[in-house]
Every structure is written in structure tokens, then in C-alpha cells.
Structure 1
């Protein structure tokens, strides 16, 4: 691998037009530099000072964890809505937005850092560097987390991950991911707060859910069919206030690609940045920092007025499809100070306080992970919706004959088409030529009005 392979200076003048932060290359914890680890640990301690974002998120997560066993089953919650309550399902999208909220707070401390991810299908030892005292180890004592590494399990295998990639239906994929070892494993293996509704108290929660989010992103890039019925999410419904700020309303269907937040996942010493337009929506200067090789191309655009910087310790390659337009501000630089005294300068080491969380009965609430079988058990599901993208009509095939109703919604949640079918496994929806180009959601309900499955499709 080349050192100092590419250094590109400032192209045009700087435009700082936003105040919020975001955008990142998330990498496995094993690919983080000493500088990133030191600064990230300090930032994790820092965001618990003042309004204490992590405690707020943990309490919210605990409050709305799961209402399946309550007297009011209509209350919205965050977990275990599949396979029977797909109209309430937000698990993957909600946690994507949640960890992005934390990452924004961390980047207010240092805009170069980002969350890492813990690939628990590979790193399965209590002696892995993730648990070192100068990484996430110190939080166990300082915050009274009560970890018991390796006491339960199992952690996922590589086969568990590859099996998820082979699933074609989003709801089946999401249900299996949530309930089985790829998600469940790290929670129960870590112990302490992690296998409880207050799991966001532990910083490893965010490394774990970054990995879960990466698994979803990898699946979506293959299948491109993630979709939700619900159009807003708890906490992110435009009504929740934290630290004097009302959090935005987020439609889960708008964040089925991590690139919406400028988040890219690196692995095997390569970060591939593509199909993204720098907007500075969350960051006055979008910084993409990585120890190893950054490749940017395939419709990665820095438009006029936008500000972006690539920074690598080793190598940056700008490949065909990358464009920094006239009027933009773009830098690609090699970090020659990394691991040197000039780079590692912990900002908040003096504030690494012993700050145990208050006692909560949520720590003792049992979580039932394994219930909820495949959606294939006794319900028809969509085997295919073709063509996708469609133009004038779309044919829907189920895995069994059934009386059902097909509804088509636009991305604003408005129903634009409804047809009933009897005793069939093949349904054709015609006369769709007048629809505008874009995403639509198909919902299948049975004769009793029970939602069976939803699927996102694209109109050309």
C-alpha cells in the first residue's frame, strides 16, 4: 500500500453555511487509529456531561422497548413487531437514526471521529482490543455497567450473516436479524446493561448497532427492497425535545440507505465512496477520515457551494465518476501526523468521570428474543413483484393461493390504488402508467384486514 499517495490542495474558496454535523466513514474497531480511539473515548465521556444524551437515549429505549405484553397493544414500540405487526415495524430504521444522533453529538466534540463497528461474527474474545481499558473497557467500572463478557451467547457466525444476505423479503430479513444471533448475540454475550431495555447505557451498544446497520446496508445494496408501512418514528416524529431542540420528523422509508446520512462502511482496508452528493446538510465541512485506502467515484459529487475533505493515513484514489464541481471546496490530504504527538491531544481526558447510571428496574426486565418464527409459517408472502422498476403494470406472486386485497401507496402515505382478489396466488395491477416516477409501497392484507406483507417498488 502506498504512503502519501495523493495530496490535493484546496480547489476553491470555503463556504461554511451549516452548523450541524454528520457524515462519516465507519470502520471496524480493529481498523481505527490510536488517534480515533483516544478521541472517540473522550467524546463518549463528554456527551454524558451536561444534558447527558446517552442517558436520555437509554431511558427512551427502555420506555418504548416493547409493548407486546401490555394491556394496550396499540401503543407504538421499537422491538419485536415482526412477524405479526408489520404496520408498527421500525426496528432497523429507528436504530439507524438513533446511532446517527449519537454520532452527530460525538462529532460536535471532534468532527474527524465517527462510530466504529464491532463485527461480532469475527471478534468473539473478552481479550479483544475493544475491551481494553484505553478503549471501551474503562466504561464498565466508571459507569457501573456490570458487564459479564462471554457468560451467555452465542455470538453469530459468518454463516449466520451470509444466510441473512440470501433472504429476499425485507420483513423476513428484518425479523431474523433482530431475533437471532446477529443482533441478539452481542447483547446477551456482553451482559450487564446490554441484554436489558437500557442497553444504550453501554457504549458498546453503538459499536454493535453500527454492525447491525452495516448488515442492513449490505443487504439493501443487494436487494434494494427495504420498505415500511409506518411513516414516522417514535422520538423522531417532530415532537420530541432534547436539550432545548425539537428533533426532526423522520420517515423510515427515507433512510433505507445509510448514504442518506453520508455514512459509508469500510472493511478490509478499503472505503468505497459512491452514489452520494455532498450537501453539508449535517456538516459545514463533510469529513471522511480513514486509516487505509479511500476510493471515491461512481457518482460521488461535490457540487458548487459544497465543502468536503477526504483524509487518509495511507492512500486516496479519485476514480471515474468522482466530480468536484467549479465553485465547490474540496481537499484530499494524507494525515502525516497520525500517531504523532501533534495529532493525539485528548481534549477531555480530565473529564473521564466516574458517572454511574441511576438504578432502574428496567435492568431486571426479561427480554424474550427467540419468539416470532419465519413469516413463511402460515401466511402468504410476496415471492415477487415484477417488473421492478415498473411502468404500466406490476404482477405480484404469492407463495400460496389466498383471498386478499392489494393496496398501493405513494411515499406520502396516500392510497392510490386498491384491488381485491379471490383464491389466487398471482395478481396483476394494471393502469399504472399515469403515476409519477418514484417509490411506491405495496401492501397485502387478508380477508380480515390483517396486514400480511409490504414491499417497496419503483415506478420508472
Structure 2
């Protein structure tokens, strides 16, 4: 089982493998296909709804598997934007995601308002005890603000065209997984008809939130589970 961890904890070798896989999915057009999928469903239930978290869990899982087809050792890393809040942080360095800005024409700004979320905001959201209260607070503003802060492609419907999208959404999934671990009996609650636990996810009619609700069954875990 792959362990998803903070990108800061990747070894130099792991960073090189990850960056190489990103270049591969760009050269083959795969990352652009992911951007198109996200863009085509942008206003149709994958945001501002109870399907926001399960849809993106499935989405980044499929991207992770595309990377693993290039190198099976890869586990998607995450970017914790409560800790890495500066354009000078290593995530934007020349040995990681920095060069993609110019190479792929991403137009990043790395300081656009609003600011990045804080640890206090995250912890307040983690204290919610129902899914109906948890997911809106996670999506707005904890999820939304980093999209705006990075700017460029990350602020548009085709945001998966910037690879930092996947590290950001891996962190959002990390926060959902952590909340699920602390609230194991909290049921999934639909925000409206057609967006329930057993309703199909946009793009994948054979997949539902029920299929992804237990992330451990999807073949990955998170580094927070390594802490005793």
C-alpha cells in the first residue's frame, strides 16, 4: 500500500521520480485529458455539493495510477498550504514544481488574494462532527483559497493542467481522511437529490461515493496514520 506524504518528506530520489512522471504524463497528453475532464464537469455537481470530496478522491486516484503506470513506486504527495505559504518555499523550487510554470505556460502568481488558509481554520473545520457541516467548510475557503493564491491555470476550470492541483487536492483528501478517522460513525449526507452515497459520480457512471468512502480500500494511506 502506498503512503501519501508531505512533499517536503520526499527524498531527493523520490522527487526526481515524481517530476519525471509528471513530465511523462504531460508529453503523452494525459494531464491535459485530466484538465478537460475537470473543466467539462466544473459546474455540474463536483463543486459546492456533497460529491465534491468523493469526486475529487476518485479523480486524483486515477491520476496517481497514471503516474504509477510510469513508475509503480510513486505515491501522490501533498502540499499543506498552512505550512508552505511563501513563493520561496521548496515546492516552487527548481528541483520540483518551479520549472513547470514557464515550461507549461501556467501563469502562476503565487500571492494573489485571498491569502492561504491557516492551521486554526483547518482545526476548526476538523472539529465539525457531521459531514453536512464538514465538507462546505473544507471546500470554502480551505480548498478555494490556494487555487486563487497560486493563480494562472490553478484559478480556472482547467486547473489540473497545473500539477500543483494534484498536490493541493491530495492535501484536501488527507484532511477528509483524517476527519473520517476521527469520526468513523458519521454518515455521508447528500446536499441534494441525486448527490447521495449511491448516486453515480460525474464522468464515471459505474462509480459512486460508496466506492471511495473507505480510502484504505483504494490502495493508499496517509502519513498521519504512522504517528502513534
For residue 40 of structure 2, what is the aligned residue in structure 1?
A: 63
- The 5 A counterparts of 1:298-313 are none
Q: Which structure: larger Rg?
A: 1
Tell me which of 186, 203, 219 is aligned to 2:146. 186
Q: Does 1:154 align with 2:120?
A: no
- The 5 A counterparts of 1:374-453 are none
- Alignment: residue pair count: 220
Separation (CA, whole Å) in 2 of partners of 1:189 and 1:64? 22
Question: CA deviation digits over 1:164-185, x for unaligned, max 9?
Answer: 11111101111111121x2112
Shift of 1:77: 2.8
For residue 201 of structure 1, what is the aligned residue in structure 2?
A: 161
For residue 33 of structure 1, what is the aligned residue in structure 2?
A: 11
For residue 397 of structure 1, what is the aligned residue in structure 2?
A: none
Check conservation: 1:41, 1:136, Cα contact below 8 A.
Answer: yes
Show structure 1 runs of 5+ residues with no match. 1-22, 67-75, 82-88, 238-248, 273-294, 296-460
- The 5 A counterparts of 1:289-300 are none
For residue 250 of structure 1, what is the aligned residue in structure 2?
A: 207
TM-score (norm 2): 0.91
Separation (CA, whole Å) in 2 of partners of 1:136 and 1:271? 26
Question: CA deviation digits over 1:227-248, x for unaligned, max 9?
Answer: 15152111121xxxxxxxxxxx
TM-score (norm 1): 0.46
Shift of 1:222: 1.1
SS of corresponding position for 1:137: coil
Separation (CA, whole Å) in 2 of partners of 1:49 and 1:77? 30
For residue 66 of structure 2, what is the aligned residue in structure 1?
A: 105
Shift of 1:80: 1.4
Separation (CA, whole Å) in 1 of partners of 2:35 and 2:114? 22
Question: CA deviation digits over 1:378-427, x for unaligned, max 9?
Answer: xxxxxxxxxxxxxxxxxxxxxxxxxxxxxxxxxxxxxxxxxxxxxxxxxx
Q: Does 1:126 align with 2:87?
A: yes
SS of corresponding position for 2:152: coil
Task: Evaluate the alpha carbon distance shift between residue 24 and residue 32 of structure 1 in structure 2; reply closer, same or farther with a 3 A threshold.
Answer: same
Separation (CA, whole Å) in 2 of partners of 1:226 and 1:212? 19
Separation (CA, whole Å) in 2 of partners of 1:158 and 1:117? 15
SS of corresponding position for 2:169: helix
SS of corresponding position for 1:194: helix
Greater strand proportion: 1
Query: After the TM superposition, which segments of 4 or more aligned residues of structure 1 sit over 2 Å from their partners?
Result: none
- Greater relative contact order, per chain length (Cα 8 Å cut-off, separation 6+): 2
SS of corresponding position for 1:117: coil
For residue 48 of structure 2, what is the aligned residue in structure 1?
A: 80
The Cα RMSD (Å) is: 1.5
For residue 222 of structure 1, what is the aligned residue in structure 2?
A: 182
Question: CA deviation digits over 1:176-215, x for unaligned, max 9?
Answer: 11121x2112111101111111111000000000000000
Greater helix proportion: 2
Q: Does 1:271 align with 2:222?
A: no
Tell me which of 31, 56, 62 is aligned to 1:54. 31
Shift of 1:226: 4.3
Separation (CA, whole Å) in 1 of partners of 2:212 and 2:40? 24
